[in-house]
Amino acid sequence: MVLYIIAGLIFAGGCISPLSETKEDAAKVIISTNLENPDSLLSAEPIAWKNANALHEGLAFSGKTASKLDYENEYSIVFEQKIGYIDHRSPRRFTFEAMMYSPEPLPVGFMVASVSGTEYYRSYPVAEFLPVGEKWEKVRTTFTFPDSLKPSDVLKVYIWNKKQSELLIDDLTLEFDFRK
C-alpha cells in the first residue's frame, strides 16, 4: 500500500501544469510553459495563453511542440492576463525568458510587452541573442513597469517577427518581481 502511495506521489510530481505558478518567495511569481499540452494550456482558467495558430509540432527545444513564426504568422503564442490575476500586488518588473531557434543568423524579431490602459509598450530585438543560425539560444530580457498599473490593466507578452523571419520559440518563463 505504501508503495502505491509513493508511486502516486512520484507520478503526480512529474506532471507538468500548462500554467505552472510557483511562489518561491514572497517577492516573485513565476509562470512558465513548455507548450507540450496545448489543449490544457489554451483552456486553463483564467485563460492566459492565446494564439493557438502559432503552435506547431515538429522541431522543438523540449518535447515536440513549439511556437512557430514565419512569413504568414507574425506572432508567437501570447501571454495575456489582467495584472490583478497574476497577483494581488502590482509587479515592479518582470523577466521574459524563452528558448529560440532561427535557421538564419540575426533574425528580425522582437520580444514585446504591452499593458492596456497605459501607454506602456516595450520591445527588444532578438537578433543579438541569435548571432548564428540553426542553434537554440536562450533569450532573456527584463521589462520595468510604470508605477501606475491597476489590477484591471491587461499585460500582453509575445514575440513579433513582422513576417520577415522564421523563428521557433519554446520553454517560456515569466518571472514577476514585486520588490520595491
Per-domain residue ranges of the chain: 19-177
**CB burial class (10 A; 0-12, 13-18, 19+) of residue 169?**
buried
Q: What is the pLDDT of residue 9?
A: 34
Task: Give the span between the Cα atoms of 86 and 31, in whole angstroms.
Answer: 9
In the predicted model, what is the mean pLDDT of residues 43-72?
92
Task: Give the span between the Cα atoms of 170 and 56, in whole angstroms.
Answer: 10
Task: Give the span between the Cα atoms of 71 and 162, in whole angstroms.
Answer: 8
In the predicted model, what is the mean pLDDT of residues 74-82?
95
Q: Looking at the predicted structure, is the pLDDT value of residue 141 above 50?
A: yes
In the predicted model, what is the mean pLDDT of residues 17-22?
43
What backbone phi and psi angles, to 5 degrees, belong to 178? Answer: -105, 5
Q: What is the pLDDT of residue 44?
A: 78
pLDDT in tens, 101-114: 999 999 999 999 99
- State the pLDDT confidence band at 16, using cuts at 50, 70 and 90: very low
Q: Which fold has domain 19-177?
A: Jelly Rolls (2.60.120)
What backbone phi and psi angles, to 5 degrees, belong to 128? Answer: -65, -20
Q: Looking at the predicted structure, is the pLDDT value of residue 120 above 80?
A: yes
